[in-house]
């Protein structure tokens, strides 16, 4: 049995410009239990270029299909975070 910090896994789905900046449609992220959406975003930014960080800054987010207004909200195990850049049109 392993001791230490419990981790959770979240799936991140990128759309449109966010997908282009990320270079992928989806990725899995492991985080410590109790991690926030902001912690997840920090993990995504790590090792990426400045353009990716700029795209993330302009995006809105859905956590398990619910709009994220406060990035301090805790990410549950198995969550899906959708990364949505601003869309033109109506």
**Where are the chain's structural domains?**
7-84
Fold held by 7-84: Ubiquitin-like (UB roll) (3.10.20)
With both helix axes pointing from N to C terminus, report the angle between 37-45 and 50-58 in degrees, rounded to the nearest 10: 150
pTM > 0.85? yes
Q: Is 54 exposed, middle or buried (0-12, 13-18, 19+ CB in 10 A)?
A: exposed
Distance CA 62, CA 71 (A): 11
Q: Which DSSP category does 75 fall into?
A: P
Print pLDDT tens along the chain (90 aa).
Answer: 444 579 999 999 999 999 999 999 999 999 999 999 999 999 999 989 999 999 999 999 999 999 999 999 999 999 999 999 987 555
In sequence order, which residues have a C-beta less than 8 Å from that of residue 9 and are 6 or more positions away?
28, 29, 30, 31, 77, 78
């Amino acid at each position: 049995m392993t001791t230490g910090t419990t981790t959770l896994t979240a799936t991140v789905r990128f759309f449109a410009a966010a997908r282009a900046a990320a270079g992928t449609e989806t990725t899995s992220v492991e985080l410590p239990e109790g991690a926030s959406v902001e912690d997840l975003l920090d993990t995504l930014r790590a090792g990426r270029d400045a353009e990716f960080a700029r795209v993330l800054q302009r995006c809105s987010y859905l956590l398990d299909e619910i709009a994220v207004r406060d990035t301090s909200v805790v990410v549950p195990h198995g969550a899906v975070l959708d990364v949505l850049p601003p869309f033109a049109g109506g």
